[in-house]
Amino acid sequence: EVTLINPFLVPEPQEQAVLDHWEQARDFLETQPGYISTTLHRSIQPNSKFHYINVAKWESTADFKTAISKMNKSLSPLSIPGVEFYPALYEVIRN
Amino acid sequence: EVTLINPFLVPEPQEQAVLDHWEQARDFLETQPGYISTTLHRSIQPNSKFHYINVAKWESTADFKTAISKMNKSLSPLSIPGVEFYPALYEVIRN
């Protein structure tokens, strides 16, 4: 199992557009083989470095990469200025 | 319910010392009222911005803050050069 953790920065005026795009991507990805779950978090502290962090679980790195490349072919890419994503894949090492 | 998400940077030589400190803190915090779970993630991609991200769930912000202040009184603080933490509290807005 792998975990995608994607902290991102969104200029306030763009928040709804980014959330709409996030939902489109989630609706696509949740139909893909190896998808387990996704949880989008919004900060409740005004001075946090990242206002949004998505945490998604997949059966494997390969499943995740296959799904993302299929999504990129079928959905229009997010082209909103000022949005910064820092996605990476993680393994759980302690509980 | 609130989620603490704490991305952190650790210079490679300090990783074991930071993990040891993380375990001490986890062992203390998991005994505190309102603690639900914690999951420490390590990146499986070399070029990720954050090598470690901790995701912990608590019943409430108040429970979390009380536990942290008690921990700070009973455990010695982490004083390892080069370690950078970016903790913040989050709410879940989409699944």
State the complex-level ipTM: 0.92
Judged against a pLDDT cut of 90, whether residue A71 lies above it is answered with: yes
Specify the 3-state DSSP secondary structure of B69.
helix
Contacts of B95 in chain A (CB under 8 A): 37-40
Q: How far is A5 from chain B (nearest CA, A)?
A: 8
CB-CB under 8 Å, B7 with A7: yes
Specify the 3-state DSSP secondary structure of B47.
coil
- Stretch A50-69: mean pLDDT: 97
Longest dimension (CA), chain B: 38
Judged against a pLDDT cut of 90, whether residue A79 lies above it is answered with: no
- Stretch A24-31: mean pLDDT: 96
Q: Where are the domains of chain A?
A: 2-90
A5 touches B41 (CB < 8 A): yes
Q: Which residue of A has its CA nearest to B48?
A: A88
For B47-79, the pLDDT digits (tens) are 898 999 999 999 999 999 999 999 999 998 888
Contacts of A44 in chain B (CB under 8 A): 2, 61, 89-91
Architecture, CATH, for domain A2-90 = 2-Layer Sandwich (3.30)
Query: What's the Cα-to-Cα distance from A70 to each of A52, A65, A74, rounded to whole Å?
Result: 24, 9, 6
Question: Can you spell out the DSSP letters for A31-75?
Answer: TSTTEEEEEEEEESSTT-S-SEEEEEEES-HHHHHHHHHHHHHHS
Judged against a pLDDT cut of 90, whether residue A30 lies above it is answered with: yes
Contacts of B1 in chain A (CB under 8 A): none
CB-CB under 8 Å, A95 with B53: no
Which of 3.30.70.100, 3.40.250.10, 3.40.50.1100, 3.30.499.10 is the CATH number of B2-75? 3.30.70.100
CB-CB under 8 Å, A61 with B90: no
DSSP state of B4: E
Distance CA B37, CA B34 (A): 10
